[in-house]
């Protein structure tokens, strides 16, 4: 292959946990890398201090108009209804399921609850040759450090921390030492380090305001460990190119080897074509599956017999639990893990902060008071991951039946027990799933009949094409999956480097 015809050694599509980690690893190794991201840089302190000029506000500062990017529905426009090209969230709705996906440089790290946890031992064992718990452990260790995983020095100083406020509770079982997962949050006790070292680069961040609202609609001061700040900004100084507001439409194999990417520049309204010997798909479960289906339908890629199979939700189910007079908004986005008495072994549950919607200032005071009156309780578990994604004449569809997965019934029973023991009713939807953690569709397997990628993330039948996001998981992590996605991306990038050096 004539390298002079390539725009970069590697093109990475997407800039969330997978794309940022992979791009940083490859850039640090001396590869020329281009990241294509359909969303904008967000206006946060680390991004401003890095000198990035074209930024868009987070919903927490820009208001409701910047919240929704697009809607993907079973009816209406086949490619979805786009409301705001700079919007923060895309919402997918179909049979038995709703999935919100983010659209930012930094991906879902702007909305995540910053919980840094690992799946149970043996999670990676037996998936495919080339990957195992032993192989993945160093990657988990590395990304945990890079995401600034911390345990609070004194949980008594953490508003609403469950280890303190429920110490003598009749409805929660105390956690054993080490069971409370660390957080990717810059805490006030670390205040001496306002410019944190990320690689060899100082990145400007401010500690979180534990009495304020540093919730799920973004962290303007950089308090949350977002991957744009911790991975992409340092890599820019090493030669990484990030093309924000560039939506990839198709990936095509080139006859002479390598890949051609068709993308649309959403600012200019024009199309462009980029070429590279290697491409890594990191667009997130919904959009990676969509891009592969669209590319196959257009004749750019062939095969992919198992595409869309094994779609799951990580067993997500969320409830709203009235507080006991405390202001639930205070503290970190996730206050911590909890165990409901009698259900300690059946489901993984987090206590979340009340979420203040991104409303105008004259409505915000009332909305904040209302949000503070309830905690979120978010359960995760081992769902059957037996849903499906498919292309219906250009429209991407999905189906999922929560009745196939006992974990939802177990979570419902736990919530009902919490209602009984606390005397405060947990409200939750037991008819359909709303998940921020869609997984699968491009599963790891040892053969192309059962999966789309091998144990190194390379797509069967397409050498040099990799998938590094949550779409590869053949089973749920059962815990917040962000750390596992980042660790997998680190493994994929490291494996690619070994093959090309």
- Length reported for the chain: 501
What mean pLDDT is predicted for residues 182-204? 80
What is the CATH classification number for the domain harbouring 162? 3.50.50.60
Q: What span, in angstroms and rounded, lies between the C-alpha atoms of 313 and 408?
A: 11
Strand 427-428 to 317-322 pairing: antiparallel
- Give, as one character, the DSSP assignment of residue 75: S
pLDDT-above-70 percentage for the chain: 97
What mean pLDDT is predicted for residues 291-300? 97
> What mean pLDDT value characterizes the chain?
94
Residue 195 pLDDT greater than 80, yes or no: no
Per-residue pLDDT, 211: 87
Range 250-284 burial, b when 16+ CB lie within 10 A, else e: bbbbbeeebbbbbbbebeeeeeeebbbbbbbbbbb
217-232 pLDDT tens trace:
889 999 999 999 999 9
- With bands split at pLDDT 50, 70 and 90, how would you rate the model's confidence at 499? confident
Q: Which residues pair with 72 in a beta bridge?
A: 92
Helix (H) or strand (E) holding 320: strand 317-322
Residue 452 pLDDT greater than 70, yes or no: yes
What mean pLDDT is predicted for residues 162-182? 94
- With bands split at pLDDT 50, 70 and 90, how would you rate the model's confidence at 192? low
Per-residue pLDDT, 95: 87
340-393 pLDDT tens trace:
999 998 889 999 999 988 888 888 889 999 999 999 999 999 999 999 999 999
Strand 97-102 to 195-198 pairing: unpaired
- With bands split at pLDDT 50, 70 and 90, how would you rate the model's confidence at 233? very high
What lies within 8 Å, CB to CB, of 456 at 6+ separation is 130, 131, 466, 491, 492, 495, 496, 499
What mean pLDDT is predicted for residues 23-45? 97
Per-residue pLDDT, 79: 92
What mean pLDDT is predicted for residues 245-255? 96
Q: Name the strands in the sheet holding 259-265, side by side, starting at the edge strand that comes first in the sequence.
A: 246-253, 259-265, 270-276
Per-residue pLDDT, 500: 81
Q: Which phi and psi angles does 69 have, rounded to 5°?
A: -85, -55
Q: How many domains does the chain have?
A: 1
Q: What span, in angstroms and rounded, lies between the C-alpha atoms of 190 and 181?
A: 18
Per-residue pLDDT, 4: 63
Per-residue pLDDT, 65: 82
Residue 1 pLDDT greater than 60, yes or no: no
Q: What span, in angstroms and rounded, lies between the C-alpha atoms of 226 and 232?
A: 10
270-292 pLDDT tens trace:
999 999 999 999 999 999 999 99
- With bands split at pLDDT 50, 70 and 90, how would you rate the model's confidence at 190? confident
What lies within 8 Å, CB to CB, of 443 at 6+ separation is 306, 309, 310, 450, 451, 452, 453, 471, 472, 473, 474
Asked if 195 and 205 touch (Cβ cutoff 8 Å), the reply is yes
Q: Which phi and psi angles does 404 have, rounded to 5°?
A: -80, -10
What tokens were used for 381? 């578990």
- With bands split at pLDDT 50, 70 and 90, how would you rate the model's confidence at 429? very high
- With bands split at pLDDT 50, 70 and 90, how would you rate the model's confidence at 193? low
* SS3 (DSSP) at 204: strand
251-262 pLDDT tens trace:
999 988 899 999
Cβ count near 85 (within 10 Å): 17
| Biggest distance spanned by C-alpha atoms of the chain | 70
- Per the structure, the complete domain to which residue 495 belongs is given by 3-500
Per-residue pLDDT, 226: 97
Per-residue pLDDT, 2: 45
Distances (CA, A) of 496 to 23, 113, 128, 230: 12, 30, 17, 22
């Amino acid at each position: 292959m004539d390298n002079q015809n390539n725009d970069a050694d590697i093109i990475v599509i997407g800039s969330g946990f997978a794309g940022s980690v992979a791009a940083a690893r490859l850039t640090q190794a001396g590869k020329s890398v281009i990241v294509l991201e359909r969303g904008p840089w967000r206006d946060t302190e680390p991004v401003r201090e890095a000198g990035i000029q074209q930024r868009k506000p987070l919903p927490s500062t820009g208001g409701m108009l910047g919240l929704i990017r697009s809607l993907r529905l079973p009816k209406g426009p086949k490619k979805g209804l786009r409301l705001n090209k700079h919007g923060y969230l895309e919402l997918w709705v179909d049979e038995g399921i709703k999935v919100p996906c983010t659209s930012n440089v930094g991906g879902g790290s702007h909305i995540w609850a910053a919980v840094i946890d690992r799946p149970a031992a043996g999670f990676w064992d037996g998936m495919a040759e080339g990957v195992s718990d032993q192989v993945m452990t160093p990657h988990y260790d590395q990304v945990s450090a890079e995401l600034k995983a911390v345990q609070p020095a004194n949980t008594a100083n953490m508003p609403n921390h469950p280890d303190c406020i429920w110490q003598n509770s009749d409805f929660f079982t105390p956690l054993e030492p080490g069971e409370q997962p660390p957080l990717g949050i810059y805490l006030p006790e670390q205040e001496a380090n306002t410019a944190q070292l990320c690689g060899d680069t100082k990145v400007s961040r401010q500690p979180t305001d534990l009495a304020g609202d540093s919730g799920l609609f973004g962290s303007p001061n950089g308090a949350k460990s977002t991957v744009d700040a911790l991975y992409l900004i340092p890599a820019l100084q090493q030669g990484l190119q990030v093309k924000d507001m560039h939506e990839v439409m198709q990936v095509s194999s080139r006859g002479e080897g390598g890949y051609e990417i068709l993308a649309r520049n959403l600012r200019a309204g024009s199309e462009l074509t980029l070429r590279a010997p290697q491409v890594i798909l990191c667009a997130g479960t919904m959009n990676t599956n969509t891009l592969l289906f669209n590319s196959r339908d257009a004749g750019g890629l062939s095969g992919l017999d198992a595409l869309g199979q094994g779609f799951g939700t990580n067993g997500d189910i969320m409830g709203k639990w009235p507080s006991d007079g405390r202001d639930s908004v205070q503290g970190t986005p996730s206050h911590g893990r909890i165990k409901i008495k009698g259900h300690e072994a059946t489901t993984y549950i987090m206590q979340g902060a009340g979420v203040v919607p991104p409303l105008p200032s004259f409505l915000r005071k009332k909305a904040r008071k209302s949000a503070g009156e309830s905690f979120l309780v978010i359960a995760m578990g081992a769902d059957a991951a037996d849903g499906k994604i498919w292309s219906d004449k250009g429209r991407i569809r999905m189906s999922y039946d929560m009745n196939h997965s006992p974990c939802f019934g177990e979570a419902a029973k736990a919530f009902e027990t919490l209602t009984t023991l606390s005397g405060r009713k947990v409200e939750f939807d037991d008819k359909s799933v709303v998940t921020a953690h869609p997984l699968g569709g491009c599963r790891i397997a040892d053969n192309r009949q059962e999966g789309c990628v091998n144990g190194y993330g390379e797509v069967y039948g397409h050498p040099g094409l990799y998938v590094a996001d949550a779409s590869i998981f053949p089973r749920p992590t059962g815990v917040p999956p962000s750390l596992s996605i980042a660790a997998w991306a680190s493994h994929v990038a490291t494996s690619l480097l070994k093959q090309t050096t």
